[in-house]
């Protein structure tokens, strides 16, 4: 809110989650203690529970709407007028607000919703993404509604009150298109086939995945158990920055391969290249880049044009640098392998390691922290934190739980570390840079490979290994 210099916040008195109420208004009130630009808070009555309302600043949604006409004339704006700023994670602690524009973004999501999901008038389209992330923006709100589609939204958890919650909703509301994350698919697999088998999901005709690469085992289970062996799967690759889907099969037109997002959409020029921009051969790993502009591309980072230029347009000159590693097979199909920088992908959400480290260090007991990702069968990547405590503070399990809660409060539940390891020191270069590569090896149980000559104190690495054993 401070980075955007927000003047107004729209929230609700609360939301429902697993049978309880999430205190949204109370959370906003806490945040607004440090956000001086906000002058108005508009509160939607969802739960009916008691909330504090600050006179002059806070307003009930229903009171404001009651004074307005039913018809609302749209504003006429230039196609390049900013539509929204959406914050995504980077490798520094500073917020990174991606700017999307009115014409290009809407064109991108409107066309890709038509193409990728083969949208028809009779469809009920369910994208399970949180509406606050880019997938929710593009394929819960803007894409389906700009096509006049019926978009389905659900407030709650996928396994409450029972693990068949999603399948119950599909059966009851005759959902035809279901778009979710590989992390969710792996959770559904873990809960067992019995839950989806209880429900008639014959209304489904198309399945989709988003947020991260899907492993072939999960792809096949999704297609067979949820899709009944008859539904095509569109495995989509795109980013907050691209605004809309860039690489995806077209249902009924593109032969699919489990685990591959297949081919770029019409007009998208994607390639896998070396650091100096040269294309690599079949099945050789490299950097995924986009070589031509596209309508829904990001137009900047709010208030930071230099970061925009450096991060996206200077890594591989002449190309848009996605930050993902990938390979192309002999058929030209793309296989995305994950992030190549210090952003980790947890359950389809990109999180900056620096942000989580900053949250940990803000706790009075913590002297230093380093965060890395490690392989996880459910989430794809789990968060492992190595924490050095201040002198005299004991390494207690209760403190681990407290730190996990502290990160959730500072950033959000999605950023909670799955594992916190207390250590007396972190492996650093002589210039003071933490060698996260070594920590990733330790967290994942891998053997340390590569150059360690820049390590200031080899005994630190040995001690971490001993602690692991």
Q: What is the mean pLDDT of residues 69-95?
A: 87
Judged against a pLDDT cut of 60, whether residue 290 lies above it is answered with: yes
The pLDDT of residue 212 is 82
The pLDDT of residue 432 is 55
Neighbouring residues of 436: CB distance < 8 A, sequence distance ≥ 6: 342, 353, 370, 372
Under 8 Å between Cβ of 327 and 283: yes
Judged against a pLDDT cut of 60, whether residue 203 lies above it is answered with: yes
Under 8 Å between Cβ of 370 and 384: no
The pLDDT of residue 454 is 43
- Of the two residues 376 and 78, the one the predictor is more confident about is 78
For residue 349, what pLDDT band results from cuts at 50, 70 and 90? confident
Mean of all residue pLDDT scores within the chain: 90
For residue 93, what pLDDT band results from cuts at 50, 70 and 90? low
Q: CA-CA distance, 311 to 90, in Å (whole number)?
A: 10
The pLDDT of residue 451 is 46
- For the beta carbon of residue 323, count every other beta carbon within 10 angstroms: 21
- For the beta carbon of residue 273, count every other beta carbon within 10 angstroms: 18
| 334 sits in which H/E element | strand 334-339
The pLDDT of residue 467 is 61
Judged against a pLDDT cut of 70, whether residue 364 lies above it is answered with: yes
% of the chain exceeding 90 in pLDDT: 67
Ordered by where they begin, the domains of the chain are: 8-65 (no CATH), 82-339 (3.40.50.12780), 343-468 (3.30.300.30)
Judged against a pLDDT cut of 80, whether residue 195 lies above it is answered with: yes
Judged against a pLDDT cut of 80, whether residue 341 lies above it is answered with: no
The pLDDT of residue 429 is 58
Judged against a pLDDT cut of 60, whether residue 377 lies above it is answered with: yes
Least confident of 29-43, 300-314, 427-441: 427-441
The pLDDT of residue 453 is 44
Q: What is the mean pLDDT of residues 407-420?
A: 91
- Of the two residues 227 and 463, the one the predictor is more confident about is 227
For residue 380, what pLDDT band results from cuts at 50, 70 and 90? confident
The pLDDT of residue 130 is 86
- Of the two residues 105 and 378, the one the predictor is more confident about is 105
Neighbouring residues of 237: CB distance < 8 A, sequence distance ≥ 6: 245, 246, 247, 248, 261, 334, 336
Q: CA-CA distance, 195 to 230, in Å (whole number)?
A: 19
| pLDDT tens digits, one per residue of 250-270 | 998 999 999 899 999 999 999
Q: CA-CA distance, 164 to 148, in Å (whole number)?
A: 29
| pLDDT tens digits, one per residue of 166-186 | 999 999 999 999 999 888 888
Find the DSSP H helices in 224-315. Answer: 305-313
For residue 211, what pLDDT band results from cuts at 50, 70 and 90? confident
Judged against a pLDDT cut of 50, whether residue 449 lies above it is answered with: no
Least confident of 125-139, 370-384, 445-459: 445-459
The pLDDT of residue 147 is 97
- Of the two residues 418 and 430, the one the predictor is more confident about is 418
| pLDDT tens digits, one per residue of 220-237 | 999 999 999 999 999 999
Judged against a pLDDT cut of 70, whether residue 447 lies above it is answered with: no
The pLDDT of residue 352 is 74
Q: What is the mean pLDDT of residues 377-384?
A: 88
């Amino acid at each position: 809110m401070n980075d955007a210099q927000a003047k107004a916040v729209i929230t609700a008195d609360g939301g429902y989650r697993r049978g309880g109420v999430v205190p949204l208004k109370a959370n906003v009130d806490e945040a607004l203690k440090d956000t001086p630009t906000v002058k108005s808070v508009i509160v939607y009555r969802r739960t009916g529970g008691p909330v504090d309302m600050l006179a002059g600043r806070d307003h009930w949604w229903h009171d404001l709407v009651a004074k307005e006409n039913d018809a609302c004339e749209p504003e006429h704006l230039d196609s390049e007028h900013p539509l929204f700023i959406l914050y995504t994670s980077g490798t520094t602690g500073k917020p990174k607000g991606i700017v999307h524009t009115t014409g290009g973004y809407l064109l991108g999501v409107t066309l890709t919703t038509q193409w990728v999901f083969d949208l028809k008038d009779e469809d009920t389209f369910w994208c399970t993404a949180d509406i606050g992330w880019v997938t929710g923006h593009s394929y819960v709100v803007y894409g389906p509604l700009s096509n006049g589609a019926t978009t389905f939204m659900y407030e709650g958890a996928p396994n409450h009150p029972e693990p068949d919650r999603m399948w119950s909703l599909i059966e009851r509301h005759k959902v035809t298109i279901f778009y979710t994350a590989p992390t969710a698919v792996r959770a559904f697999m873990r809960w067992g086939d019995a839950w989806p088998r209880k429900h008639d999901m014959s209304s489904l005709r198309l399945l989709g995945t988003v947020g991260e690469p899907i492993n072939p085992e999960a792809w096949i289970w999704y297609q067979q158990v949820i899709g009944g062996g008859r539904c095509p799967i569109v495995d989509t690759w795109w980013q907050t920055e691209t605004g809309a889907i860039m690489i995806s099969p077209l249902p009924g037109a593109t032969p699919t391969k489990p685990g591959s997002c297949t081919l770029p959409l019409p007009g998208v020029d994607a390639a896998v290249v070396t650091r100096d921009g040269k294309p690599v051969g079949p099945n050789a790993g490299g950097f995924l880049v986009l070589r031509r502009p596209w309508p829904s591309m990001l137009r900047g980072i709010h208030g930071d044009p230099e970061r925009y230029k450096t991060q996206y347009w200077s890594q591989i000159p002449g190309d848009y640098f996605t930050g993902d590693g990938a390979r192309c097979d002999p058929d030209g199909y793309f296989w995305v392998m994950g992030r190549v920088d210090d952003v980790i992908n947890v359950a389809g959400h990109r999180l900056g390691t620096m942000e989580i480290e900053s949250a940990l260090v803000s706790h009075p007991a913590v002297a230093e922290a380093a965060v890395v990702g490690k392989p996880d069968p459910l989430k794809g990547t789990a968060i492992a934190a190595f924490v050095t405590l201040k002198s005299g503070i004991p390494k207690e399990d209760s403190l681990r739980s407290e730190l996990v809660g502290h990160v959730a409060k500072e950033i959000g539940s999605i950023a909670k570390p799955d594992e916190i390891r207390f250590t007396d020191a972190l492996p650093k270069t002589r210039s003071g840079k933490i060698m996260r590569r070594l920590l990733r090896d330790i967290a994942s149980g891998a053997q340390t490979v590569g150059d360690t000559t820049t390590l200031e104190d080899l005994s630190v690495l040995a001690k971490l290994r001993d602690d692991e054993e």
